[in-house]
Structure 1
Amino acid sequence: MTAEDESDKLLLAARRIRRATSTDFVISLVADDFSRASNTYLGKLRSNFLGTKFTIYDSQPPSVASIQERSQRSRRFCTKQVSVTGPAYNYSIANISYELNVLRTRGPRRMHCVMHSVPFSSIQGGSAPTPTSFPRSFGEKASPPSVSDSKETAKDASSPSISSSAVPLPLQESLVLKNKAPRWHEQLQCWCLNFRGRVTVASVKNFQLVAAVAPPHNIPAAEQEKVILQFGKIGKDIFTMDYRYPLSAYQAFAICLSSFDTKPVCE
C-alpha cells in the first residue's frame, strides 16, 4: 500500500501465510520485516478455512492503536535497528463475513464488517477513539514483566492462534459496514458501481462499503449513501483504496486484504 500524493511512499505492507485451516495476512510498516517481535509489526488478518470469515487483529488495544502515530514514530528511527521486545499481543478489533452464494446467482460478492472498536455514533457527529500517546516509545526500555505477564507472553508466543481480547463495543453500538447496492446496467449486461473514475477494470474484488443503518437511527438517506471505503482494480495487480473517517488506514487496508483470499463458495 502506497500513498499516491507522496511520490508512492510505502505506508503498509502485508505478507500472506497459508496454514492448514486458515490464512494469515501479517501487516507491517515496512516491506522486509513481518516479525511479531518488531516495532514495525501492526497486526494481522486471519481467515477461516473457506475464506468467508475474517478477524482483524491489532497489536495494540483499541485505546492506544493509531496507525498515524506509529507511522510517525517509525520515521524517527531506522527500521533496520528496531529493538526486539518479545512477541506482540493481538487484539480482535473487527470481523468480516462474506455471504455464501449457494444459488450461484449473478452479482458482486456481499460482505459485512463489524468494527468492534468504532462506535456507530461516529457517523452521526460523534467521534471514533483517537489516541494521543503510547505506553512507551521505541527509545525507552520496557519495565520488567510480572510473573503473570511473563506467563501470558509465553502462552501467546507458543500459541499464535490464541489472541488477547480488548473489551469491544456492544454489537448495537458498533459501526457495521455493508456493500453498497450495485445497479444492473442493461447495455453492459453487468452489475455496476460508480467509482467516480477511481476504478477502471472489472473485477470480483471491487467493492464499496457504506454504513449499515437500522430504521430507528433515523439517518438521512444521503448520509447512508456515503461510501466509507472503496477498493478496485486499475491494472494488472494494481488496485486503489479510498477510505474516510471513521476508518483508519490500518482498518481499511485489512478489510481490502480480505478480498484477495480465495472464496469459491461466494462467487
Structure 2
Amino acid sequence: MSFKSIIRELKEMKDGIGSISRRGVEGKNCRNRKKSHIAPDQALFPSDSNQQSQWANLPPELLLDIVRRVEESETSWPARAVVVFCASVCRSWREVTKEIVKTPEQCGRLTFPISLKQPGPRDFPIQCFIRRDGATAQYLLFSGLMPSEDGSNKLLLAARKVRRATCTDFVISLVANDFSRASSTYVGKLRSNFLGTKFSIYDSQPPCGIAVQPTNRMSRRFHSKQVSPRVSAYNYRIGTISYELNVLRTRGPRRMNCIMDSIPFSSIEEGGTAPTPSSFPQSLEEHFSSFPDLKEKEPVICSEAPGLSVSPGLTMGTPEPLVLKNKAPRWHEQLQCWCLNFKGRVTVASVKNFQLVAAIDPTQNVPAAEQEKVILQFGKIGKDIFTMDYHYPLSAFQAFAICLSSFDTKPACE
C-alpha cells in the first residue's frame, strides 16, 4: 500500500484516530470543510484521548521513516495536505511531523499555520496572489503563481476592510468567514490613520524574542469576563507603514517606508537571523509567560523606538528595527511611464504596484547582494487579482499586511 493510500485511509476513518474531519469549523458540511482554510494549531490536532490508538503504537523508527517520506514526496498544495493529515493522527504523529517539517526559511514551503508568521526563504521568493472581492470588502491571500481553473489554490489568509469614523481597519484571519477577535482564527490587523497615509501592523501574539507589551486598553480587555480563556485578546504593534504626502502630484508614484519593529536590522547582516516563532499561544496564560509583572506594573515605553513597549525591569536598549523603502522606478521615455522590473510577475500598470528593499546605510555591514535584493513585491495582473512575492526576513502575515495598505484610498499621496 502506498503512503498516499495510507493517508487517505486515515482521513476516512472516523473512529480510533479522532475524526480528522473535525479540524474544520464546527457546524459546516463536509464539502465546506474540504475547501476550508488553514486551521489554527489547537483546532488542527485531535485530543490526547487518541494517543492509545493502533497508529500511536507504531515503532518510532518506522513512524519517523513514514512521515519523512510523506513530507519529502509532497511539495505543493493541495497534495501537501497529506503532511497535515499525518500530524492529525495523534500526539506521537504530531510531534514527529513537527520535527520533520522545516520552516519556510529552510525549505521554502508553507505547511502549518505558524508558517505564515515565520520568515520566508533567503534564496528565492514564496509566490502568492491576492484576490480582491469588492462586494464583501474582502482580500484573500492564496499560495501559487496565479488562480487555478479548478480552484485548488490554498487559502493562506483572509482580510476584511472595516471603515470607521477616524480610521480604516483590515482585520486578518485564517478563514474567510470569521473575522472576530474573539475567535481562535484571528491573526492580527492593519489600522490606518484618517488620511490613509500611516498604518500600524498589529499581531495577535507578541513578537518572538522581543519583549513587547500591549496597551492599557488591551489590559482592561483581558480582565473582561467576555473574553474566552482560550482566545488571544491582545494586539501587539509590530510595524508601521508611512506614505509620503504628494498633494501637488509632482513626485511621481507613491513613496512608502516600513519600520518593522519585530525584525531587527541585524537579521540581514552577515550571519544574522530573524525571529522565528515556533507555535501559536494556546491560551492567554502563555502570552504572559514573558511578562510576569504585567498585572502589577504599567507598560514602559522605550524612547529609542517610539511606540514600542518593553517589560518593566528589562533593559531599555532595543535592537535597531529593519526599515524597508520602495524601490525607485525609472522613467521610460518611449512608453512615457514609470517602470520597474517585476520579472513577468506584474502585467498591469497600477499605482498600487511596488517593490520594497532594505533601507541600508553604506557604512553598515551588509552584503552588496542584500542591498539590492527585493524583499517584497506586489502588483496587478487582473481586474481584482494581484501577485505578492516575499523573501526573508518577512513572513507571509507581515507581507500581506503591507500589501493591504496599498488598497486603502490615498488622495494625498497620488
Normalising by the smaller structure, the TM-score range is 0.7 to 0.9
Identity among equivalent positions (%) equals 76
Q: How does 1:111-126 map to 2 (within 5 A)?
A: 111-124=256-269, 125-126=271-272
Confirm or deny: 8 A CA contact 1:37 1:84 kept in the other structure. Answer: no
Q: Does 1:4 align with 2:144?
A: yes
* C-alpha distance in structure 2 between counterparts of 1:123 and 1:46, whole Å: 27
Confirm or deny: 8 A CA contact 1:90 1:165 kept in the other structure. Answer: no
CA separation of 1:4 and 1:185: change in aligned 2, threshold 3 A: same
Deviation, 1:42, is 0.4
* C-alpha distance in structure 2 between counterparts of 1:256 and 1:58, whole Å: 16
Q: Does 1:51 align with 2:191?
A: no
Aligned to 2:123: none
Instruction: Name the aligned partner's letter for residue 230 of structure 1.
Output: Q
CA separation of 1:29 and 1:166: change in aligned 2, threshold 3 A: farther
CA separation of 1:166 and 1:209: change in aligned 2, threshold 3 A: same
Q: Deviations over 1:86-121 (max 9, x none)?
A: 562000000000000133115210000000000111
* Secondary structure at 1:224 match in 2: helix
- Gaps spanning 5+ residues in structure 2: where? 1-140, 211-227, 299-306
CA separation of 1:203 and 1:178: change in aligned 2, threshold 3 A: same
Confirm or deny: 8 A CA contact 1:64 1:134 kept in the other structure. Answer: no
Confirm or deny: 8 A CA contact 1:2 1:9 kept in the other structure. Answer: yes
Confirm or deny: 8 A CA contact 2:238 2:262 kept in the other structure. Answer: yes
* C-alpha distance in structure 2 between counterparts of 1:171 and 1:226, whole Å: 25
Instruction: Name the aligned partner's letter for residue 341 of structure 2.
Output: N
Deviation, 1:218, is 4.3
Aligned to 2:131: none
Tell me which stretches of 4 or more aligned residues in structure 1 moved more than 6 Å: 140-143, 168-172
Aligned to 2:338: 191
Q: Deviations over 1:125-166 (max 9, x none)?
A: 31111123444379x9999xx9x86xx9xxxxxxxxxxx965
Instruction: Name the aligned partner's letter for residue 274 of structure 2.
Output: A
Q: Does 1:23 align with 2:168?
A: yes
* C-alpha distance in structure 2 between counterparts of 1:59 and 1:86, whole Å: 10
Q: How does 1:111-150 map to 2 (within 5 A)?
A: 111-124=256-269, 125-136=271-282
* C-alpha distance in structure 2 between counterparts of 1:181 and 1:165, whole Å: 29
Q: Deviations over 1:179-200 (max 9, x none)?
A: 1111111110111000000000
* C-alpha distance in structure 2 between counterparts of 1:265 and 1:101, whole Å: 6
CA separation of 1:113 and 1:173: change in aligned 2, threshold 3 A: same
Q: Which of 155, 175, 183 is residue 322 of structure 2 equivalent to?
A: 175
Instruction: Name the aligned partner's letter for residue 142 of structure 2.
Output: T
Confirm or deny: 8 A CA contact 1:206 1:231 kept in the other structure. Answer: yes
Aligned to 2:23: none
Higher relative contact order at CA 8 Å, sep ≥6: structure 1 or structure 2?
Answer: 1
* C-alpha distance in structure 1 between counterparts of 2:203 and 2:179, whole Å: 14
Q: How does 1:197-236 map to 2 (within 5 A)?
A: 197-236=344-383
CA separation of 1:30 and 1:181: change in aligned 2, threshold 3 A: same
Aligned to 1:95: 240
* Secondary structure at 2:310 match in 1: coil
* Secondary structure at 2:267 match in 1: helix
Q: Deviations over 1:238-260 (max 9, x none)?
A: 00000011000000000000000
CA separation of 1:132 and 1:261: change in aligned 2, threshold 3 A: same
Deviation, 1:202, is 0.2
Report the TM-score, using the length of structure 2 for normalisation.
0.52
* C-alpha distance in structure 2 between counterparts of 1:171 and 1:105, whole Å: 38
Aligned to 1:60: 205
| Equivalent residue pairs, number | 233
CA separation of 1:121 and 1:165: change in aligned 2, threshold 3 A: closer
Which structure has the highest strand share of the two?
1
* C-alpha distance in structure 1 between counterparts of 2:348 and 2:245, whole Å: 24
* Secondary structure at 1:215 match in 2: coil
* Secondary structure at 1:223 match in 2: helix
Confirm or deny: 8 A CA contact 2:184 2:232 kept in the other structure. Answer: no
- Gaps spanning 5+ residues in structure 1: where? 66-82, 153-163
Report the TM-score, using the length of structure 1 for normalisation.
0.79
Instruction: Name the aligned partner's letter for residue 186 of structure 2.
Output: Y
Q: Deviations over 1:222-245 (max 9, x none)?
A: 321110000000001100000011
Aligned to 1:109: 254
* Secondary structure at 1:256 match in 2: helix
CA separation of 1:170 and 1:15: change in aligned 2, threshold 3 A: farther
Greater CA radius of gyration, 1 or 2? Answer: 2
Aligned to 2:137: none
